[in-house]
Amino acid sequence: MTDADLIIIGAGPAGMAAAISASEAGAKVILLDEQQSAGGQIYRNVGSNHDGRSFLGEEYFEGLKLVEALSRSNVKCEFGTTVWRIEDDLRVVWSRDGVSNISSARHVLLATGAQERPAPFPGWELPGVMTAGAAQILMKSSRLLAKDAVLAGSGPLLYLVAVQLIKAGTPPIAIVETQTMKNAFKASRYLPRAMLASKMLAKGMELLRYIRKSGVSRYTSAKDFQAVQNDDGQLTFSFRTRKRVHQLVTPLVLSHQGVVSSTHISRSLGLAHEWNLSQQAFLPIVDKWGRTKNSRIHIAGDGAGIGGARAAIASGRIAVLDMLFQLGKLSDDQRNQSSTADRALLRQSLAIRPFLDALYYPPKEILAPSGETLVCRCEEIGASTIRQTLNQSGLGPRQIKSSTRSGMGPCQGRMCELPIQGILSSCGKKHLLPKVRTPIKPISLGELASLAERPSTKS
């Protein structure tokens, strides 16, 4: 006896769309998310954010449709719950307010989305240096606005955050971009295909136009980022464009180098993953229905590869069709036919990805840091230590972890794993999938002990 037909982890666009369509088809669904409400990254807090329309933008408020449809549905939503383990028999272990619980289902959909790519440079660990996405989270959840910030890095989210800040009346003092003419040249071959997603291209152009009109300074082809803390608590952010060195004094550096799939749960389940060259990250291997090698576990949305919100919605609904097929609620034909519209949406939304991946490909110095740049922030281990360990003993990522303790801190590798992969690759070594053990998010020993074989709560 299970608690539900389907447990979905993640109430972003993928998870919400999947939950609504599974519930409409009569399936019993539990939706778990560690946030306090539905929305995921793009629509975070949209249900209670009534006054940000002027600066968060219309696209953000489009998320209300999904959030409201979810609240009208029969889906059992459990917010403020962090999933920290999934067992082979699909018992999902989650924690809320320091107490862990177990729910079980016949199928599980991982819709855990993405995180920003760790972007190490000297000084990225200083107070006042944070990610552009983190600043956006503060905007969406607490209406806290970054003042006099420098936005540094590359990617569409950098422009979006810049425009949101300008509209909110706290424009950044500068946008320092790492993409180069070489990136643009490489990306140009994907432009014809990207035209299939012409609305998204137009949206990007509109963001750029808005930034230009605002008069915010923009620097491109920037490299050698460095942040230093001044005596007055401000930061001096320096960088180079061609032969010129620039220095900007700012209270806040918001860095961003794109987003990468969150794979901690899929890796902890031992599912197959492969290195994706253009996204420079490991991605889970799924079939066209989002099905993993365990046919009862599907992955949808950014967690299966970065595609954005529209692709996430389509892939969430497509995964549900396959589960309904497996549950005997749809025939093979019905499953195929019902997926046609979402497949078209998915194809169209993904058409722009090769262009974006090439245009905003992270610079080498960020992918494979060197010198004293901190790589593992939890254990304070610099790039040079990782490189020395690697050179001295010819070790792989697993041995680097045990000999330097990198990845053993509370972030559980979320900050250092990719830079270490980059360093390995720059030393001519193959990318090796880092193992993930549960709990995939830190919980206390007391909580773990009190869980011991408590029977699962049937709903």
Ligand X SMILES: Cc1cc2nc3c(=O)[nH]c(=O)nc-3n(C[C@H](O)[C@H](O)[C@H](O)COP(=O)(O)OP(=O)(O)OC[C@H]3O[C@@H](n4cnc5c(N)ncnc54)[C@H](O)[C@@H]3O)c2cc1C
> Where on the chain is the footprint of ligand X (CB under 6 A)?
9-15, 32-35, 40-42, 82-83, 111-116, 133, 136, 157, 160, 259, 262, 301-303, 308-309, 312, 441
CA 276 – CA 357 distance, rounded (Å): 11
Token look-up 């209300």 returns 64
Dihedrals φ, ψ of 60, to 5°? -60, -45
Nearest distance from C-beta of residue 113 to ligand X, angstroms? 2
Q: Between 132-142 and 156-168, two packed helices, what is the crossing angle to 10 degrees?
A: 40
CA 111 – CA 40 distance, rounded (Å): 10
Which two tokens mark 147? 């003042």
CA 424 – CA 401 distance, rounded (Å): 13
Q: Which is nearer to ligand X, 86 or 386 (CB)?
A: 86
Nearest distance from C-beta of residue 390 to ligand X, angstroms? 29
Dihedrals φ, ψ of 217, to 5°? -65, 140
Q: Which is nearer to ligand X, 267 or 387 (CB)?
A: 267
CA 78 – CA 31 distance, rounded (Å): 6
Nearest distance from C-beta of residue 21 to ligand X, angstroms? 14
CB 12 within 8 A of CB 42: yes
Nearest distance from C-beta of residue 294 to ligand X, angstroms? 18
Q: Which is nearer to ligand X, 304 or 400 (CB)?
A: 304
Nearest distance from C-beta of residue 353 to ligand X, angstroms? 12
Nearest distance from C-beta of residue 129 to ligand X, angstroms? 16
Q: Which residue is nearest to ligand X (CB)?
A: 113
Q: Which is nearer to ligand X, 31 or 400 (CB)?
A: 31
**Distances in whole angstroms, Cα of residue 294 to Cα of each of 106, 260, 280, 323, 366:** 12, 23, 25, 12, 35
Strand boundaries in 278-363, DSSP class E: 281-284, 297-299
Q: Which is nearer to ligand X, 302 or 357 (CB)?
A: 302
Q: Which is nearer to ligand X, 22 or 386 (CB)?
A: 22
